[in-house]
Structure 1
């Protein structure tokens, strides 16, 4: 057969009659979700073999001729074309219908219902109420802390009490220390949950071993007035006094004062180290918020990294965000009533929310993007739970009858203890059950248990 006849045969209308829907097959872009892979596998393997076997069978019986050879060539071309059409576009097949599981018990048939996500319920009542008669009503002090060994420390006038909050009897509270002529102004657990720092109104700071109930050392010389705020950063204990000084103390050495930050002109009400241990936030009764960075050399004239003046009242409530290292939440006093959010890298105020009452304390939820605030004044002695970043209020807890000055969080991050001058300490399951495994407490240097060998007694 000459080449002209072959070209005419290949263009025969019987073999290549095109439909409008097939005109653009050469521009097809495969869609994996619409591909029948079982059919494709058959055509690429079994289908091709069957066509070849049929054509070879004709040759074996001597049924070969020029026209049959041309027919075989045409069939091979059609096969190749169809092989390309295996991935031809078509609508996605409908989803497979699953059979509804049935259980036959007696004469009835029960169909299982799809399960809905369980709605989180925030209890409106505390799990437990403990009594703390004589709790001092002073916005500048910090008298409650919850250690990593699950022991609460609360200061009442001249005494520091320790208590496992889940013990049944109120008589299981133990007294750690009492100094009759002095007032406790602050308490703070060390990261190991055994040692505790206690600030006094005579400018001294004591370190105690809570297990042995023994005073290990007294830090003197860093302050000239009462120490109202404390914050640990591994072996560094940061202390803030009523004169506005912030001092870093290395508790392992005799000359414990290693650095002093000067920026506040009145009482230091709040101190908090960031989770990384690199930035320190300090709030004062002078309405100022300072961010200090221990990685940069401080200029004696301007030691702070940022000096933030947007609050219009005392800044006591400080809380570093657990899921964003440079995010800090702060709360202002009675003349301010705002919760503000800061980017501590550049000092920008990201948001400000007027809560309507004095902000006494702030805590982040470790399991959800939520912030808990405690309040006082204007008859709103409450705890409020906010969704971050929308700051939609999701719960209000109103059991206290006076301003809720102090809050502390349990080691697992679920329970919150709140204390107020109404002489009660209440435990709230406000943050629910943990959804993810909690990180281990920050490691304490190996030298920590022996750090007092050279300290002043």
Structure 2
């Protein structure tokens, strides 16, 4: 049965009929994508480059033409790329792999800059904080890598052995949010002098995996989260007060979310059963638009 708190969240939701669905400006057909909810295999950078992983290869596409301009290849039949993250400024791409490795690639020079080891399982999430790259594994550990130095592993966060399926540094680079498969959102401090941290600043439980996490660009203490299949609720939190500002039932698992600063909205990428994107007016979280694609089984 549902806990009382969960029932109240559903009652508070405002539902209106969405406006006419929008049409896409372009379509990208990709075959061979790994069907795994816990991976993060697509990223789009400020240089308008899209990186998307298919098996052991990451393809780099022009964001305007959607044409492939480069690719990076693990050259392996036994492992695959499980996460991707562009550095915030520049064309350096980080790739996590299924065997626990983190690689850095310079897309301009088409060279692999380095291999970083330490994880013992799938690296499912990555997030940059300037020259510090944080990586999360399916065994529950988060490693901080200083990509400038040879001894790159400069810190570890570990709370339990549940898979890390989302990582996101705040825009101020002072807080790191991590979401895990057991439904825990953890907020960690930026403390480069500590080698091992086992106690996050805050933990917020959800009823399903926390795969979608993103900080609000114009309110540094506000973060949005999206729950998995058993949850399906978009929530916006005030981290300072550990209070939920608003919530909305999306009626499906939430795979990703993005803030839209120009229109003060939140966009969610939905999984089963609808496989669509939804746009929500902030702060009331009223569903204003839906974008549909086509799902191929």
TM-aligned CA deviation for residue 233 of structure 1: 0.5
Whether the aligned pair in 1 keeps the contact of 2:246 and 2:284 (CA below 8 Å) is no
What is the SS of the residue equivalent to 2:28? strand
**Distance of 1:153 and 1:375 partners within structure 2:** 20
**Distance of 2:274 and 2:112 partners within structure 1:** 40
Per the alignment, residue 392 of structure 1 pairs with 286
- Whether 2:238 is the aligned partner of 1:340: answer no
- Whether 2:33 is the aligned partner of 1:135: answer yes
**Distance of 1:370 and 1:149 partners within structure 2:** 23
Whether the aligned pair in 1 keeps the contact of 2:155 and 2:192 (CA below 8 Å) is no
2:149 aligned residue (253, 257, 276): 253
TM-aligned CA deviation for residue 354 of structure 1: 1.6
- Whether 2:258 is the aligned partner of 1:363: answer yes
Whether the aligned pair in 2 keeps the contact of 1:207 and 1:218 (CA below 8 Å) is yes
Whether the aligned pair in 2 keeps the contact of 1:264 and 1:286 (CA below 8 Å) is no
- Whether 2:122 is the aligned partner of 1:192: answer no
**Distance of 2:33 and 2:155 partners within structure 1:** 32
1:244 aligned residue (132, 136, 140): 140
Alpha-carbon deviations, 1:1-48, whole Å to 9, x = none? Answer: xxxxxxxxxxxxxxxxxxxxxxxxxxxxxxxxxxxxxxxxxxxxxxxx
Stretches of structure 1 that go unaligned for 5 or more consecutive residues are: 1-120, 403-421, 423-457
**Distance of 1:295 and 1:180 partners within structure 2:** 36
- Whether 2:58 is the aligned partner of 1:164: answer no
- Whether 2:123 is the aligned partner of 1:220: answer no
What is the SS of the residue equivalent to 2:35? coil
- 1:37-436 alignment runs, 5 A limit: 124-167=22-65, 170=67, 172-181=68-77, 182-221=79-118, 223-295=119-191, 302-309=198-205, 311-377=206-272, 379-401=273-295
What is the SS of the residue equivalent to 1:131? coil
Alpha-carbon deviations, 1:51-78, whole Å to 9, x = none? Answer: xxxxxxxxxxxxxxxxxxxxxxxxxxxx
Change (3 A) 1:295 1:206: closer
**Distance of 1:177 and 1:319 partners within structure 2:** 29
Whether the aligned pair in 2 keeps the contact of 1:125 and 1:399 (CA below 8 Å) is no
**Distance of 2:60 and 2:195 partners within structure 1:** 41
Change (3 A) 1:383 1:124: same
TM-aligned CA deviation for residue 296 of structure 1: 9.3
What is the SS of the residue equivalent to 1:126? coil
Alpha-carbon deviations, 1:273-293, whole Å to 9, x = none? Answer: 000000000001111110001
RMSD, aligned α-carbons: 2.0
Alpha-carbon deviations, 1:336-379, whole Å to 9, x = none? Answer: 111111112232222222211111110000212100001112x3
TM-aligned CA deviation for residue 178 of structure 1: 3.6
TM-aligned CA deviation for residue 158 of structure 1: 1.0
**Distance of 1:217 and 1:243 partners within structure 2:** 23
Aligned length: 278
Higher normalized strand content (fraction of residues)? 2
TM-aligned CA deviation for residue 265 of structure 1: 2.4
**Distance of 2:243 and 2:195 partners within structure 1:** 22
Stretches of structure 2 that go unaligned for 5 or more consecutive residues are: 1-18
TM-aligned CA deviation for residue 123 of structure 1: 6.5
Whether the aligned pair in 2 keeps the contact of 1:341 and 1:350 (CA below 8 Å) is yes
TM-aligned CA deviation for residue 126 of structure 1: 0.7
Whether the aligned pair in 1 keeps the contact of 2:155 and 2:194 (CA below 8 Å) is no
Per the alignment, residue 15 of structure 1 pairs with none
Q: TM-score scaled to structure 2, two decimals?
A: 0.88
Whether the aligned pair in 2 keeps the contact of 1:264 and 1:284 (CA below 8 Å) is no
